[in-house]
Amino acid sequence: MTVTFETHQKKDRLRRRGGAVVDRFVWAHGDFNYGNSMSHVSRETVRWLSKIGAPVGAWSWDGPMEPSKDLPVALQEDLKKSAVVVMDRVKVPLAVWDMLKVEAPFIAAYYMCEGTRVKDGDLARLERYDAVFTPTQFCYRALIESGLKTPVFVWGHGFDHEVFPYVEPKPDRPFTFLWYGDENRRKGYDLFLKAFVELNLPNTRAWVRSPGSGFLSKLTGYYRSNKNIVFDTRVTPPEQLKEMMAEADVFVGPHRGEGFGLGGLEAMACGRPAIMTRWSGPLDYGGGDDMTYWVGTDGYEPAQFDVGVQAKPDYHKLLKQMASAALNAEEVRRRGILASRHVHSHWRWEQKVAEILPILRQLIPQCKL
């Protein structure tokens, strides 16, 4: 559920600047390459706002951006009439903030977290903005319960339906569990591999798709002798990811904490039901027990990067759900079709980016977006 403008109007917390006309949207980030999930979200937000006809541009504080067919670029002079949203999950240089404060009539933050609380330093920084946008109800609660007084609105991520359409599974191959994403213990790759080996189910394989560095690389050697585990570190264009999905049956994401969890959403879009922890970001899009194999929590532990706590997935339930999926391929296929229909109906990028415009029109008196 998106938090409404009226909810915050009653709190009288809107800090509007000056009466300047706002007629464009600018997304500010230091890096718009495909190196990490925050850069990916930044690119896709700008790209899809442009696709739906919104006057939008990408502005990088790390220097001039290369012109791009699919990514309109904003200049510093454009900031004077823009609603600027800053990707604030990365450190924003003080000089950039000082410049935006002078130039832009409206400045909002896009912020997410994986723990149940927000760091004091982050909280103080977020108080400087006119509004804060965050991708899930989990993040929204963390911000509010941490005491943030700036108006907060839920504005979710999406997926590219051209990159992640429904994909028919390839025939004549082992039943395949897929884990893919950034190499981060928070995403539960260690639990996935441990469970796969312990189950030792016939005619199954585990496919781990990752950059091939960091924490996970330390486990690669330990599991390398298991011929049913595939470590895939190829760098491929986004449009080839559907080929990966055709090789898989189920996405396994026993995460300890997710601000959103794009991997689960993208797999569901392709018709691959997800085995995920019933906790944090994926609750927003994961649907019911008829499409997602939910894994409960078995207590909590300190958050890995934020503050507060993250979940301990129920390992025995993970074993049970993986076994249930592998032993009933028809049920997996049925759930996958439901999951794909669900997310294609509600979570495409063009649908999600459109949600921001009516909020901005209400927040900014002279908004022409």
pLDDT tens per residue across span 308-329: 999 999 999 999 999 999 999 9
Q: How far apart are CA 335 and CA 323, in angstroms?
A: 15
Output the pTM of the full model: 0.93
The predicted structure's pLDDT at residue 355: 96
Would residue 261 be called left, alpha or beta, if left means φ above 0 and alpha means ψ between -120 and 50 degrees?
A: left
CA distances from 135 to 94, 142, 244, 246 (A): 25, 12, 26, 28
The predicted structure's pLDDT at residue 157: 97
pLDDT at 362 over 50: yes
CA distances from 251 to 18, 130, 213, 239, 318 (A): 49, 38, 21, 18, 12
The predicted structure's pLDDT at residue 119: 95
Contacts of 125 (CB under 8 A, 6+ apart): 88, 92, 109
pLDDT band at 139 (very low <50, low <70, confident <90, very high): very high
pLDDT band at 15 (very low <50, low <70, confident <90, very high): very low
The predicted structure's pLDDT at residue 198: 97
The predicted structure's pLDDT at residue 9: 38
Q: How far apart are CA 322 and CA 326, in angstroms?
A: 6
* Count of Cβ atoms closer than 10 Å to residue 352 Cβ: 19
Mean pLDDT for the stretch of residues 115-141: 96
Mean pLDDT for the stretch of residues 188-211: 95
Residues in the chain: 369
Contacts of 163 (CB under 8 A, 6+ apart): 238, 239, 241, 242, 266
The predicted structure's pLDDT at residue 64: 76
* Count of Cβ atoms closer than 10 Å to residue 230 Cβ: 15
Q: How far apart are CA 46 and CA 31, in angstroms?
A: 13
Closest CA to 42 of 134, 119, 110: 110
Helices and strands in the chain: count of H runs, count of E runs: 13, 14
Contact in structure between 31 and 63 (CB atoms under 8 Å)? no
pLDDT at 113 over 50: yes
Q: How far apart are CA 272 and CA 275, in angstroms?
A: 10
Q: Which DSSP state fits 330? A: H
Q: Which residue has the higher pLDDT, 84 or 68?
A: 84
* Count of Cβ atoms closer than 10 Å to residue 303 Cβ: 21
For residue 44, what are its two tokens?
């896709």
Q: How many CA atoms within 13 Å lie on the side-chain side of 180? A: 26
pLDDT band at 214 (very low <50, low <70, confident <90, very high): low
The predicted structure's pLDDT at residue 271: 98
Q: How far apart are CA 238 and CA 221, in angstroms?
A: 28
Q: How far is CA 16 from the centre of its chain?
A: 29
For residue 51, what are its two tokens?
């696709």
Closest CA to 24 of 61, 67, 77, 60: 77
Residue-wise pLDDT for 244-256, tens only, equals: 999 999 999 999 9
Going across the sheet that includes 24-29, the strands are 56-60, 24-29, 82-87, 106-110, 131-134, 152-154
For residue 340, what are its two tokens?
């794909």
Closest CA to 252 of 200, 300, 187: 187
| SS3 (DSSP) at 339 | helix
Contacts of 53 (CB under 8 A, 6+ apart): none
